[in-house]
């Protein structure tokens, strides 16, 4: 914790009230630690504005006192974007008190919400209207709309619905100079000049504070089925994807991959997340279909499709959910993998993407490159294979407390060189934050990064807004 100038503290208290500013104590300390408690930053205070006007005044006050601002939502981001840097001297601006669902328009199929509304809160509010917001991620209960928009989060259903930015119809935000840009009219077509809302999607809080968002929503599916499949090779996985993404295309919402070593870790560390009983194989696929139409029988369509792939030998074994609770149990296994790795020991996580036909090469070459450096590890590749996105994690088998920095960097360099060679991305959905800024050049040219810096400088010439995030050294 660093000390803020007394007059700055008093100004902030006069804006949000004394209960909206914490300049010491456990709340501030917790706000400076990342989700897994592995990284810690420093700040002089955490501030909780509860209106747009209060956000404007807080930013103007910080500007006047030369203070940096770290925008913070649910703090579930995985690249240290929402905690201040270790040498931070400014404030954390937390949006959780801005949490009103402003409007639900079932005919326009849109909502307007405050940035601090959690994703789970929005899902619940849409239930009575028979509508859904199609972004769903493992952190739904905590992550906020402002956070998922700022990270352009993905999740399980990108294959069908797109990333968060594809759901955004407009944004209200306070820029670093304390002016407000606002486009919450929820128009589907609006080509007037630059799209400022899209510029802020995925900007990780470096260009301003998002205070409100207009989002698309969709009719709630009335039929949903999940299947858990075992397959003997990664080539079979890609062949199956190629077939079902055509035949089930209008219905397919998820095509997730789990490796056998990951499923074995779940058995050991998360007993209630155990995978459905299918024959053991090297890879498992979690596939989900849904439909908002009652005119077809989705179960029949799915069963017929899977049967044809038993016959052609692509699928070794399968379980199809017969009820909502079975569907949830299948997903529980997928969610359990994240926690099983954490319980197993130190894990280095990487969030990469390539074009789908390149996935077998990514797995083979990535594994070989890592095993060249370190042998006593489990390489666990899982995730949203239908989007070309794999979480390429390296878990320690040895009795070591952690990976050394040297290993981390060597493993990163080895894997990201393969990703670069295959024309992929070193951050498919988690963003850059502070953790990945030194490796941006594996996926972006110097010209690209310079153009980003120019935009940042134009909107935030003093660099106060989320200092140290995205931009760093060019290694
Ligand atoms: C268990 C778990 C599962 C996850 N699964 C997925 C997944 O499947 N797909 C995926 O893409 N991600 C996933 N994530 C990470 C994902 O980035 C976050 O869960 C979510 O997008 C961040 O929302 P948040 O409100 O917690 O934002 P925070 O972590 O608080 O902030 C994230 C970034 O956004 C900025 N920010 C936050 N709010 C605002 C605002 N109002 N205005 C401007 N900037 C703001 C912050 O400064 C920071 O840079 C997962 C995380 C966890 C812990």
Mean pLDDT computed over 39-50: 96
Ligand 1 proximity of 84 Cβ (cutoff 6 Å): no
From 139, 429, 470, mutation site for ligand 1 pocket: most ligand atoms within 8 A of C-beta:
139
Q: How far is the CA of 136 from the centre of ligand 1 (A)?
A: 12
Mean pLDDT along residues 396-412: 81
Residue 345 has what pLDDT?
A: 82
The 10s digit of each residue's pLDDT in 340-359 is 888 888 889 999 999 999 99
- Going by C-alpha positions, the residue among 163, 293, 277 that lies closest to residue 224 is 293
Question: What pLDDT band is residue 413 in, cutting at 50, 70 and 90?
Answer: very high
Q: How confident is the model at residue 273, as a pLDDT?
A: 75
Q: How far apart are the first and last CA of the chain?
A: 30
Q: What is the pLDDT, as a whole number, of residue 129?
A: 98
Q: Is a pLDDT exceeding 60 seen at residue 474?
A: no
- The percentage of residues in the chain with a pLDDT greater than 70, rounded to a whole number, is 99
- Residue closest by Cα to atom 7 of ligand 1: 155
pLDDT digits (tens, 9 = 90+) for 61-71: 999 999 999 99
Span of 72-81, 141-150, 370-379 with lowest mean pLDDT: 370-379
Amino acid 372: pLDDT:
94
With a 6 Å cutoff on the Cβ, whether 391 touches ligand 1 is: no
CA-nearest residue, atom 16 of ligand 1: 77
Whole-angstrom Cα distance, residue 299 to residue 225? 7
Determine the residue of 150, 162, 255, 433 to mutate for testing ligand 1's pocket, defined as the one with the most ligand atoms within 8 A of the Cβ atom. Answer: 150
Q: Write down the pTM of the prediction.
A: 0.94
- Determine whether the shortest distance from the Cβ of 153 to ligand 1 is under 6 A: yes
Which of 170-179, 244-253, 361-370 has the least mean pLDDT?
244-253
Whether residue 341 has its Cβ less than 6 Å from ligand 1 = no
Burial class of residue 19 in the structure, from the number of CB atoms within 10 Å of its CB (0-12 exposed, 13-18 middle, 19+ buried)? exposed
Residue 400: the pLDDT is 64
| Residue whose entry in the numeric block shows the structure tokens 């069963």 | 303
- Residue 82 pLDDT greater than 90, yes or no: yes
Average pLDDT, the chain: 94
pLDDT of residue 416: 98
pLDDT of residue 399: 66
Quote the CA–CA distance of 348 and 361 in Å, as a whole number. 20
Q: In angstroms, what is the span from residue 76 Cα to ligand 1's centroid?
A: 5
Look at 81 and 250; give whichever has higher pLDDT.
Answer: 81
Atom of ligand 1 nearest to the CA of 164: 11
* Closest residue CA from atom 18 of ligand 1: 77
Query: What are 4-44's pLDDT values in tens digits?
Result: 999 999 999 999 999 999 998 899 999 999 998 889 999 99
* Residue 288 backbone phi and psi in degrees, to 5: -130, 140
Q: Is 148 in the pocket of ligand 1 (CB under 6 A)?
A: yes
Q: What is the mean pLDDT of residues 54-81?
A: 97
Distance between Cα 144 and ligand 1 center (Å) = 7
pLDDT of amino acid 89: 87
pLDDT of residue 475: 33
Q: Which residues contact 201 (CB under 8 A, 6 or more apart)?
A: 149, 150, 152, 164, 165, 168, 171
Burial (0-12, 13-18, 19+ Cβ within 10 Å), 39 = middle
pLDDT of residue 95 exceeding 90, the answer is yes
Return the closest-CA partner of residue 348 out of 153, 78, 41, 137: 78
Q: Is 76 in the pocket of ligand 1 (CB under 6 A)?
A: yes
Position 153 pLDDT exceeds 90: yes
Q: Ligand 1 atom 45: the closest Cα is on which residue?
A: 205
Distance from the alpha carbon of residue 132 to the mean position of ligand 1, in angstroms: 20
Q: Is 245 exposed, middle or buried (0-12, 13-18, 19+ CB in 10 A)?
A: middle
Half-sphere exposure of 458 (CA within 13 A, CB side): 7
Return the ligand 1 atom nearest residue 149 CA.
21
Mutate to test the pocket of ligand 1, among 72, 115, 171 (most ligand atoms within 8 A of CB): 72
- Atom number in ligand 1 closest to CA 469: 49
Closest Cα to atom 8 of ligand 1: 155
Mean of pLDDT values over 294-315: 94
């Amino acid at each position: 914790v660093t000390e803020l100038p007394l007059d700055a503290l008093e100004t902030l208290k006069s804006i949000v009230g004394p209960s909206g500013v914490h300049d010491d104590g456990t709340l501030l300390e917790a706000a400076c630690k990342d989700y897994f408690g592995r990284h810690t930053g420093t700040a002089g205070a955490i501030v909780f504005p509860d209106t747009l006007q209060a956000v404007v005044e807080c930013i103007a006050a910080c500007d006047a006192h030369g203070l940096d601002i770290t925008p913070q939502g649910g703090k579930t981001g995985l690249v240290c974007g929402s905690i201040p840097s270790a040498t931070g001297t400014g404030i954390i601006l937390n949006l959780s008190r801005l949490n009103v669902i402003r409007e639900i328009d079932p005919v326009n199929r849109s909502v307007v919400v405050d940035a601090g509304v959690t994703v789970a809160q929005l899902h619940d509010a849409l239930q009575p209207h028979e509508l859904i917001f199609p972004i769903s991620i493992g952190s739904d209960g905590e992550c906020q709309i402002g956070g998922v928009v700022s990270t352009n989060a993905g999740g399980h259903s990108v294959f069908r619905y797109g990333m968060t930015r594809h759901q955004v119809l407009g944004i209200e935000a306070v820029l670093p100079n304390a002016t407000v840009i606002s486009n919450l009219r929820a128009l589907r077509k609006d080509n007037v000049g630059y799209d400022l809302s899209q510029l802020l999607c995925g900007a990780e809080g470096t260009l301003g504070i998002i205070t409100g968002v207009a989002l698309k929503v969709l009719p709630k599916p009335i039929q949903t089925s999940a299947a858990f499949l075992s397959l003997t090779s990664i080539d079979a996985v890609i062949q199956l994807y190629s077939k079902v993404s055509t035949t089930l295309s209008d219905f397919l919402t998820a095509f997730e991959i789990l490796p056998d070593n990951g499923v074995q870790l779940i058995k050991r560390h998360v007993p209630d997340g155990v995978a459905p009983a299918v024959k053991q194989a090297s890879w498992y696929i979690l596939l989900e279909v849904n439909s908002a139409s009652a005119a077809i029988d989705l179960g029949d369509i799915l069963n017929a499709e899977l049967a044809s792939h038993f016959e052609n030998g692509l699928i070794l074994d399968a379980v199809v959910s017969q009820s909502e609770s079975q569907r949830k149990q299948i997903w529980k296994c997928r969610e359990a993998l994240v926690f099983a790795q954490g319980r197993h020991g130190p894990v280095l996580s990487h969030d990469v993407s390539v074009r789908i036909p390149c996935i077998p090469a990514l797995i083979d070459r990535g594994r070989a490159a890592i095993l060249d450096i370190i042998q006593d590890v489990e390489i666990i590749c899982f995730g949203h294979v239908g989007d070309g996105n794999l979480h390429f994690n390296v878990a320690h088998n040895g009795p070591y407390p952690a990976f050394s920095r040297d290993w981390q960097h060597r493993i990163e360099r080895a894997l990201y060189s393969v990703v670069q060679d295959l024309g992929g991305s070193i951050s498919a959905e988690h963003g850059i934050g502070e953790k990945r800024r030194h490796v941006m050049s594996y996926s972006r040219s110097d010209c690209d990064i310079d153009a980003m810096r120019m935009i940042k400088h134009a909107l935030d010439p003093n660099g106060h807004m989320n200092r140290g995030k995205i931009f760093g050294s060019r290694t």
